[in-house]
Structure 1
Amino acid sequence: MFEALARFAVRFRWLIVVAWVAGVAGAVVGLPSLSSVIQTNNAQFLSASAPSRQAADLAAPFQGASPAATAIIVASRTDGPLTAADDAAFSRVLLAAATITDVTSVRDQGTSADGQAHRALIVTVPNGPGNAPNARLVTAVRDTFAAASAPAGLTFHLTGPLAQTADADTASTQTGDNIRKFTLLFVIVLLFVVYRSLLAPLVTLIPPVLALLLAGPVIGQAGQAGLPVSPAIQQLLVVLLLGAGTDYGLFLVFRMREEIRRGRQPREALIAAMGRVGESITFSAITVIAALACLAAASFGLYRGLGPGLAIALAVMLLAALTLLPALLAIAGRALFWPTRPAAGQQSIGMWGRIAAGAIRRPIPVLVAGVLLFGGLTAGLNGFTTSGFTSSSPATASDSAAGSAVVAIHFPSPTSNGEILLFRFADPVWHNPDALQQAHQRLLTAAPVSALTGPLNPNGTTITAADITRLYASLGPTGSLPPTPPAGITPSLYQTYRATAQFISPDGRTARFDAIPAAGPAGSRAAIDAIPTLRTTVADIATAVAATDSGVAGVDATAYDIYTTSTNDLARLIPIVLLVIAILLAVLLRSLIAPIYLIVTVGLSYLAALGFASIVFVHHGHSDGLNFIIPILLFIFAMALGEDYNILLMARVREEAHRYPLHEALTRAVARTGGTITAAGLILAGTFTVLAIAGNNTQAHQLGYTVAFAVVLDTFFVRTLLVPASAVLLGRYNWWPSTLSRTRTTDTPPTSPQHGPPSPPHARRARL
């Protein structure tokens, strides 16, 4: 089949190239871009049944239907209290912001207790998948600051989830551009070194580059159709397609060169190479695609979108590898290798054959050494923990970061970095002040809470529930009150009452309290682990004060739900991925035995890489833990990409085993594929290293270095030493139950490794 596909590509080579270029151009113009559908808030990927999402629904009167669609305008003065002119400028900004499309409400949240800062909440309409519309809205709000004619010394900032997401998205886009440029540069340089040719690196790179340009809009279309798209896709897409696509090019070009050295003409060599390597490339890609597609069964939306999204990209890459790459190789011909000239009879076996022969002669010591090495690295998993559950913060130079700093200085700390405790009552709290007072007192003395801000101390100044009831009766709801107090009410009491708007819903039935957890700082592992206790405490208080519903929202509550969901997904998906990979390996190798040790050896490298990352980043790097996305993505990449090289090696071993004893077949297979696998592994590891270096957050650093280390382990130890040693110990049982397992020559010991070119066809027939 693959030879027929190669003949088709050779015959219609120019038409295939034109079709790919036209298809990519049409997709870029006609389909949505990938960046337009990216969602950067991890909380958006939780299911609606998650307790933090249900609590966010309770908090909707304060922050709209979606917490991510809210922003905070903060105006402050550092040289003293706000003036009347400052108040007027702040009012002008609020009026202008309310007229912006998709802004549903602007709520004045009052003045800080020190009188130096104003704060207002903007609630907007969620704009569906992606952050591009939100970025335009954030820019429009910030434009109102310049038009407000603010007095000298008054500064405006826009912060909150919406602004932070927009700023983070801008930083992520810039980082993505850097990753693309540096990855492409790295791959080009390494390909020139590997090929020692001017044209081969460019021909090898064209298919993955076009696949990358096509995959982005295709995933963007899927995102508009409902696929959750995270920033991780944008960064991993570049690394994965350039790395894997270059690997597929290496597999085919190196085999084509080998066939030329056997005496074939370039196009005949290409057809023969596709006949041998096409199946390996296809199964390699399908293995990774299938493993990634398994993530569609995840509960966590980030995984559920990341896996299928990258699977779509690799499917595009496979199509390019099987059509566009052979067409380009057919066009290039022998010029592909210039200035080198591969010719019939050239030697192509060297160092890797000798290394394989050594592992085959001493398989047990090699396996013992491998187990000790990997076991020592795996010991780093002692005390293993995860972190990074919340969205990455924007760069410190961003406007949202500056606004968050102002809020932290002038407003009570629980309102800026605490947990949100919510109580829903049957009647408005203005008519039931005792329930509000009791809830406040019980929370103040609750063990999981160290600091509390709520309706009775909204801006740091205390107000009683009775005062709230009295002022409501005389002044009405807080949302419509002007900044200036009426006669007969002290300014301090009036401003405190106005500030209760952020803690009592407009209908008066929902009360909000912001709390600092006693277990540790917000976002710490201790605070996250204390969420179940805090939820139990809030539920008990809700029962005591006759609230009809209650919940805990906020950073730690969301982090805890992400942790439990992602951990459950990891435990549930690992067996599924292993089963899928085992089935594919069994089909390719026609064996039920070989997949077992192939999976076990790659599994050892996975655990070793995870342990190594824990040693580097947690035990010595003093991180709170490895980013929660690393265990599952490392597993997918280590197992699926690791099996890529297993497939290339073992398919070649099986091919050689039909002609030579198993010992010699292993030596020849490692010798023939060693250079290819090494080059492919270095390129793939290098692309992930670029991700680690060019990435702008801890997640990218940890993921890039960890996957790169896993690929290096797999390339230089698993494929070169552990797999040949395991195979030689099993002998003919490698191929059970296929007919090859019953061939006597598979158990014949070698006299010496053969390092010359393969025997001519008539000699091979005679040997058989």
Structure 2
Amino acid sequence: DTNSGFLPADTPSMQASKLATPFQNSHQASLTVVVSRSGGSLSAADQQTVTQVEAAVGRVAKVTSVHDLGVSRDGAAEQALVQADVAPYGNGSDQQAVVSSIRKILADHSIGGLTFNLTGELPIVVDTQQQQTSSRSSTQGLSFLFIIVLLLFAFRALLAPLVTLLPAALVLFLASPVIAAATHLGVQVSSITQFLLVVLVLGAGTDYGLFLVFRVREELRRGLDPKEAVVRAVTTVGESVTFSALTVIAALMSLVLAKFGFYQSMGPALAIGIALMLLAGLTLLPALLAIFRRAVFWPSRTRLVERPRTTIYGRIAGAVVRRPLAVAAFGVLGFAALAAGSLSSSTAGFADQSSGPAGSDSAAGSTALAAHYPAATNPSVVLLQFAQPVWDNLAEISTAEQALRASGQVGRVVGPLDPAGLALSPGYVSGLHAQLRDLPLPLAPTPPAASAVSAADYNTYLALSRFISADGRTVQLAAAPKITDTSSPAAMAMIPQLRDTVTAVAHRVGATDSGVFSLTAFAYDVSHISQSDLSRIIPIVAILIALLLAVVMRSLVAPLYLVASVLLSYLAALGLVAIVFVHLGGSAGVNFVLPFLMFVFLMALGSDYNILVMTRIREEAQSHTLAEAVRRAVGFTGTTVTTAGMILGGTFAVLAVAAGSTAGSDQVRQIGYGIAAGVLMDTFVIRTVLVPAVVATLGRWNWWPSPLFRRSAGAGTGVDTEQTPAASGDRSAAA
């Protein structure tokens, strides 16, 4: 997956791809057999073995042709291009049969230091999808195990973890077919979306369940009947759960405004999962709690607690409200220091998934190609389109090749005048076309029995079809880049210059259209459009979430610092990822999707805890001073927020661990660890320390312009810095 399929149609790379259409066959797949000998050149016996292998591959069902592309310059490798009559992208039975049949032949001949590998578009797709299926199953299984263990520890009960997790598991089961149905309506779904759906539904869904189940246990310990406790919990926490889910849905749906299809494809699919989770959390979970009553918490006791003991969260909140301004300033400075880590790191990973998953046969083949055919691994294809067929005007093609070489931006240029490595005169090529142009298309791998043309001439004409389209109007030239690391920032920086050069060459030779078709060109466009989306989506998501927070908080002040607090944790988490993966881990840069996805997920998911804590502070502030309200709210919600944060952060960490060696695993690891770090910082610092400090500092202005603001002023309710005897902790912690 090079991410190119998600680019808008008007980007230069996609326009070049359209020009290359005559050379592409949507019903045929290309595979590359590469044979190499470690520590020496291929012998005559080796080349005879290669010939036998090519003949055997040609007899595989669905294989239409096998073209030997010659020995590498170092003499240690040889490659052959295989065409198969199957769709190039997919993992159906036909594709798997072709790949497995060829690999069986290659395995039988990989002996005595001679190594055969199969790579190319189809083998990479097959290997990638097979590993992703395995990794997705691992992610789901490990996530379930992790959540159940943590819930058992949190509840000290046998049934409560299952009741909490059951709605999320059911939604995960139902979401996939619903999303699959949505694809028929034009909704794109990328491969990474399937990973994120698992962790998002399990993580967020378990969070919503915790909000409700912990509140039910709290109400039971206050002496309410089980059904009354469920009603009370849904009445109070239901608002938090609803608005928490709405913030996530709003953030995800804002992705449809992105131009990069990779981001667009995530929004609707993941929003469907969260919407289903909200429905299950407000219907199925309360029903289960009402049915099982106190048995949900067995063997933990839910007896009436007259005076709950103070917990660590209540003590922390008490310390925070005594010196709120100092705590807030210290927290902001600490997060700013972490955020500075991202300033010196670059982005990477725009097109680093084109060689197959690590450890696979396709990846080994790509490595062999890069080692023995460095200029041919990822060439820049220059496309020139003319108003008329070029067969009688091939001198202009020679001029174009010379101009490209003279530009200094590319090395060797291969085109229709040297299709097989031998220079051909324009007159010879024109004459050959005049002789063979009436042959039926597509050309057969061998000359017709009744044809008088020699095998050498026919093979030359067959090679020409790779460079001149059937109608003769489009020409492609394979230009080897001077920078061999075609995914490097230096190679990407050359793309604008190369495009300008190609435009000038096209004008010089009379071409009506032109383009550069390469992985590096795609990577350049992906880089620019993803950065553009980031700068555009950030304010949209921030404003949407601020508006939802304003509605649930009945305040215009609180949403400002709540959104700012999540932005702070986002920047700090991004800086931490840069420090770990780039400065310490040696990665080329932070994966380009990470800043975008971390922002969207942390902004949305971080608001969950904001809403839970702040609505509880507002509830307690109805009958207590603000300082006491903060202490009580943080104490009551401390276990809930901590458990929920550990589960959500842990599921994203599981995603990173389970990514294994799949294609794009570095991308998935950075996303998993980055979001996990952000969630945990949000849980243990932002929600437990920083937000309470800001609330205590602002006093009644937190609630402006709601009635609570006016009532607080009339009652003289402000920040009470005296420790009250009733500073309570989390009732739910009292077993």
TM-score w.r.t. the length of structure 2 is 0.89
**1:72 alignment partner in structure 2:** 31
Alignment of 1:472-551 (within 5 A): 472-474=433-435, 476=437, 479-480=443-444, 482=446, 498-519=462-483, 521-551=485-515
Is the counterpart of residue 753 in structure 1 residue 715 in structure 2? no
Q: How many angstroms does 1:520 deviate by?
A: 5.3
Does the aligned pair in 2 maintain the 1:64–1:124 contact within 8 Å?
Answer: no
Is the counterpart of residue 275 in structure 1 residue 235 in structure 2? yes
Amino acid at match of 1:535: R
Is the counterpart of residue 326 in structure 1 residue 286 in structure 2? yes
**1:723 alignment partner in structure 2:** 691
**1:703 alignment partner in structure 2:** 671
**1:619 alignment partner in structure 2:** 583
Q: How many angstroms does 1:464 deviate by?
A: 3.8
Is the counterpart of residue 297 in structure 1 residue 265 in structure 2? no
Q: What SS is found at the alignment partner of 2:92? A: helix
Does the aligned pair in 1 maintain the 2:562–2:691 contact within 8 Å?
Answer: yes
**1:766 alignment partner in structure 2:** none
What whole-Å deviation, never above 9, does each CA across 1:359-391 have from its counterpart, x for those lacking one?
111112111111211111111122232111226
Amino acid at match of 1:582: A
What whole-Å deviation, never above 9, does each CA across 1:476-497 have from its counterpart, x for those lacking one?
5794462899999795x87555
Alignment of 1:457-472 (within 5 A): 457-472=418-433
Q: CA 1:73–1:617 in structure 2 vs 1: closer, same or farther (change >3 Å)?
A: closer
Q: CA 1:717–1:61 in structure 2 vs 1: closer, same or farther (change >3 Å)?
A: same
Distance 1:134 1:699 in 2: 22
Is the counterpart of residue 231 in structure 1 residue 231 in structure 2? no
Say which of 169, 174, 180 aligns to 1:214. 174
Amino acid at match of 2:628: E
Say which of 154, 157, 160 aligns to 2:120. 160
Is the counterpart of residue 597 in structure 1 residue 555 in structure 2? no
Say which of 109, 112, 116 aligns to 2:70. 112
**1:394 alignment partner in structure 2:** 356
Greater Cα shift, 432-441 or 340-349: 340-349
Q: What SS is found at the alignment partner of 1:701? A: helix
Is the counterpart of residue 139 in structure 1 residue 96 in structure 2? yes
Distance 1:107 1:538 in 2: 32
**1:10 alignment partner in structure 2:** none
Is the counterpart of residue 429 in structure 1 residue 390 in structure 2? yes
Distance 2:242 2:546 in 1: 16
Is the counterpart of residue 569 in structure 1 residue 533 in structure 2? yes
How many positions carry a matched residue from both structures? 704
Amino acid at match of 1:72: L
Q: CA 1:257–1:97 in structure 2 vs 1: closer, same or farther (change >3 Å)?
A: same
Alignment of 1:551-566 (within 5 A): 551-566=515-530
Greater Cα shift, 381-390 or 366-375: 381-390
Q: What SS is found at the alignment partner of 1:648? A: helix
Q: How many angstroms does 1:181 deviate by?
A: 0.9
**1:25 alignment partner in structure 2:** none
**2:214 alignment partner in structure 1:** 254
Q: CA 1:107–1:51 in structure 2 vs 1: closer, same or farther (change >3 Å)?
A: farther
Does the aligned pair in 1 maintain the 2:123–2:362 contact within 8 Å?
Answer: yes
Alignment of 1:310-389 (within 5 A): 310-345=270-305, 347=308, 349-389=310-350
Distance 2:43 2:229 in 1: 79
Distance 1:735 1:73 in 2: 66
Does the aligned pair in 2 maintain the 1:171–1:394 contact within 8 Å?
Answer: no
Q: What SS is found at the alignment partner of 1:383? A: coil
Q: What SS is found at the alignment partner of 1:511? A: strand
Alignment of 1:432-443 (within 5 A): 432-443=393-404
Does the aligned pair in 2 maintain the 1:459–1:499 contact within 8 Å?
Answer: yes
Q: How many angstroms does 1:75 deviate by?
A: 7.0
Amino acid at match of 1:74: V
Gaps of 5+ in 1: 1-39, 100-105, 759-768
Amino acid at match of 2:98: V
Does the aligned pair in 1 maintain the 2:30–2:81 contact within 8 Å?
Answer: no
Q: How many angstroms does 1:326 deviate by?
A: 0.8
Q: How many angstroms does 1:76 deviate by?
A: 5.3
**2:148 alignment partner in structure 1:** 188
Q: CA 1:63–1:296 in structure 2 vs 1: closer, same or farther (change >3 Å)?
A: same
Distance 2:727 2:718 in 1: 22
Amino acid at match of 2:551: V
**1:14 alignment partner in structure 2:** none
Q: How many angstroms does 1:166 deviate by?
A: 2.3
Greater Cα shift, 470-479 or 265-274: 470-479
Q: What SS is found at the alignment partner of 1:458? A: coil
**1:285 alignment partner in structure 2:** 245
Q: What SS is found at the alignment partner of 2:384? A: strand
Greater Cα shift, 441-450 or 175-184: 441-450
**2:658 alignment partner in structure 1:** 694
Q: CA 1:231–1:348 in structure 2 vs 1: closer, same or farther (change >3 Å)?
A: farther
Q: How many angstroms does 1:231 deviate by?
A: 1.4
**1:609 alignment partner in structure 2:** 573
Q: CA 1:176–1:488 in structure 2 vs 1: closer, same or farther (change >3 Å)?
A: closer
What whole-Å deviation, never above 9, does each CA across 1:621-673 have from its counterpart, x for those lacking one?
22121111111110011111111000000000110011111111111101111
Q: CA 1:726–1:678 in structure 2 vs 1: closer, same or farther (change >3 Å)?
A: same
Q: How many angstroms does 1:272 deviate by?
A: 0.8
Q: How many angstroms does 1:473 deviate by?
A: 3.9
Distance 1:578 1:646 in 2: 14
Amino acid at match of 1:530: M
Distance 1:211 1:508 in 2: 55
Distance 1:388 1:316 in 2: 33
Distance 1:663 1:58 in 2: 67
Q: What SS is found at the alignment partner of 1:536? A: helix
Amino acid at match of 2:699: G
Q: How many angstroms does 1:474 deviate by?
A: 4.4
Distance 1:234 1:751 in 2: 51
Distance 1:151 1:564 in 2: 46
Distance 2:369 2:340 in 1: 44
Q: How many angstroms does 1:620 deviate by?
A: 2.0
Does the aligned pair in 2 maintain the 1:440–1:456 contact within 8 Å?
Answer: no
Q: CA 1:452–1:225 in structure 2 vs 1: closer, same or farther (change >3 Å)?
A: same
Q: What SS is found at the alignment partner of 1:308? A: helix
Distance 1:113 1:457 in 2: 16
Q: Sequence identity, in percent? A: 46
Q: CA 1:536–1:146 in structure 2 vs 1: closer, same or farther (change >3 Å)?
A: closer
Q: How many angstroms does 1:535 deviate by?
A: 0.8
Does the aligned pair in 1 maintain the 2:381–2:516 contact within 8 Å?
Answer: yes
Q: How many angstroms does 1:503 deviate by?
A: 2.0
Q: What SS is found at the alignment partner of 1:550? A: strand
TM-score w.r.t. the length of structure 1 is 0.85
What whole-Å deviation, never above 9, does each CA across 1:331-358 have from its counterpart, x for those lacking one?
2211111111121125154111111111
Distance 2:454 2:121 in 1: 35
Say which of 706, 720, 730 aligns to 1:738. 706
Q: How many angstroms does 1:204 deviate by?
A: 0.9
Distance 2:394 2:46 in 1: 32
Q: How many angstroms does 1:270 deviate by?
A: 1.2
